A and B are shown apart, each in its own frame.
Chain A
């Protein structure tokens, strides 16, 4: 049997999560096919075909898949499923949306957000906001899996594999795309950035997030936030790091004015190096920080920018 990966892309821009999901799939030791579904995505398919380990790319390029809605994505994956013992997608909001639908249509469970492949049936996944790691063994003949990309490495590239066209074009039943408010940023994606500067309620308002700009420029960093900062309207939802936001593991995570609640730690405690800047010496964030600075962030941020 073979493994099928559903490529994750943002309107044609292939996400690094796809490469990391393939990295997880390689450990299953089977041939890997990748499904690229979208609109005007022939280049996306070419990019996917060049990820090491990919045997073949199935390309569905049609307007009805432009927004990757769960309803027709699920039907499409089900229609391809017969040849595959393992079907994997990244645990992005796209993968989380359609994969459980595929699973239920196939009468299978889904193993969510795996962080390790033990063997073809057995996987590790965090539960309880990452305060416990479960090893689970699937007793089913087909495995539906989402992958926490931050736990896996990027694959190398290869000479492009074969691309085959599939002319499925059914629309999403009962669901019509209305609009998309696309987050625009010149900065790297949170989940791909080597450095993240992240702000919490201590930032006081959205305007103060500008204090991060110079630092982020110098470090090539992405800017993140805690739930409190998003809830308060300082910054948009796509910047939230945590149990229920984005899971990140950069080389360097700088938490500024963030207390370090369980739910926030769940999203960043696998970062290689953590720096905490907080005026409260008892803030729990210091328990996971490699380097802590007990100080007022409004004094420190300008100093930090100047010193870099």
Chain B
């Protein structure tokens, strides 16, 4: 069995995004970039399945400029076998990403695709579900546990009211939640080894997907900032303030 893991290069989660003065977008110049944390969990899960002897190959794929090869190498260093870079300078929407991934999936018919549930930049939480629709596969989103059996995968999902488990027929799509696993760190020898692992580049234009934008980014603003508050001395003062000033209790 092959596992395909689509990954995204995003702002490092420790960095607070700043809006550009002209309000056209967020300023990413000279900002530290990293593998999206949920994608990292997806890569880890795929590698663990392979280590457990339930998959032969883990393929990572990323769509974007040449810069995404850095994150593909990171995933290779973590243990993925080979990488595919779908190259484009265009700023793509989730549906276009899902369509491109579906084309890759047609070329690399992986029985299991594991994606992060959301990217911490656009916070969309869509691509996995869209890929499931386009590839006509069942989906197990927000997974905190993934168990492979013969021809099926049991996925325990973190939902608002607790945990839900579904059994999906393979081939299937899974998206990861935070508690699925704790990703490993890449060792130095593995980082070196990753440099020699295969990385194929496919021009996005060659995949026959319409990349014309359908959503216009009108502007990007700072959120409303909160007024600075005060430090109270003790519980008595806190309660007095909540009752008489804020009037919330």
- Point out residues on A near B: beta carbons under 8 Å: 10, 67, 69-71, 74, 92-94, 96-105, 107-113, 122, 126-140, 172-183, 191, 195, 219, 227, 230-231, 236-238, 243-244, 246, 251-252, 262-263, 269, 272-275, 281, 286-294, 300, 303-304, 307-308
Contacts and interface: CB of A to CB of B under 8 A. Distances in A.
Interface string B95-138: 10010000000000000000001101111111111111110011
Interface in B175-198: 177-179
B226 A307 contact: no
A127 B188 CA distance: 34
B17 A128 contact: yes
Contacts of B227: 290
A94 B123 contact: no
B217 interface: yes
Contact of B239 (A113, A128, A238, A307): A307
B122 A94 contact: no
A60 to B, nearest CB: 20
Range class of the B interface residue count? 35 or more
Contact of B123 (A74, A113, A231): A113
A74 B126 CA distance: 13
12 contacts: A94-B159, A99-B129, A100-B94, A109-B94, A139-B215, A181-B164, A182-B161, A182-B162, A227-B178, A236-B162, A288-B226, A291-B230
A96 B128 CA distance: 11
B222 interface: yes
A238 B161 contact: yes
Given A96-B141, A128-B11, A132-B19, A292 B161 contact: no
Contacts of B17: 127-129, 131-132
B41 to A, nearest CB: 11
> Among A175, A251, A269, A281, which residue has the most Cβ atoms of chain B within 10 A?
A175
Contact of B129 (A97, A176, A251, A289): A97
B102 to A, nearest CB: 9
Contacts of B179: 230-231, 237
A97 B117 CA distance: 10
Contacts of B133: 74, 100-105
B26 to A, nearest CB: 5
The dominant DSSP class at the A interface is mixed
A295 B192 CA distance: 48
B160 A307 contact: no
10 smallest A-B Cβ distances: which pairs? A174-B138, A100-B129, A128-B17, A104-B133, A104-B130, A100-B126, A290-B229, A175-B138, A183-B162, A178-B165
A286 B121 CA distance: 25
Nearest to A111: B215
Contacts of A288: 226, 229
The dominant DSSP class at the B interface is mixed
Nearest to A173: B138
Interface of B: 11, 13, 16-19, 26, 38, 93-95, 98, 117-118, 120-134, 137-142, 144, 154, 157-169, 172, 177-179, 213-223, 226-232, 234-236, 238-239, 241-242, 246, 248-249
B26 A132 contact: yes
A292 B229 contact: yes
B3 to A, nearest CB: 18
A71 B162 contact: no
A104 to B, nearest CB: 4
Contacts of A291: 229-232, 238, 241-242, 246
Contacts of A67: 164
A286 B11 CA distance: 25
Nearest to A272: B248
Given A127-B122, A133-B223, A292-B232, A308 B26 contact: no
Given A101-B132, A104-B134, A94 B160 contact: yes
A304 B122 CA distance: 40
Contacts of A173: 138
A74 B137 CA distance: 12
Given A94-B159, A126-B123, A133-B223, 17 more contacts: A94-B160, A97-B142, A100-B128, A101-B130, A101-B139, A111-B215, A112-B126, A122-B218, A127-B121, A132-B223, A133-B221, A140-B214, A174-B172, A180-B163, A236-B162, A252-B246, A290-B246
A178 B123 contact: no
A151 B26 CA distance: 22
Contacts of B120: 128-129, 243
> Among B130, B159, B216, B218, which residue has the most Cβ atoms of chain A within 10 A?
B159
Given A127-B26, A127-B121, A138-B215, A219 B166 contact: no
B219 A71 contact: no
B220 A134 contact: yes
Given A104-B134, A175-B167, A292-B232, A243 B123 contact: yes
A180 B162 contact: yes
A10 B154 contact: no
Nearest to B170: A174
Given A112-B125, A128-B11, A292 B231 contact: yes
A219 B249 contact: yes
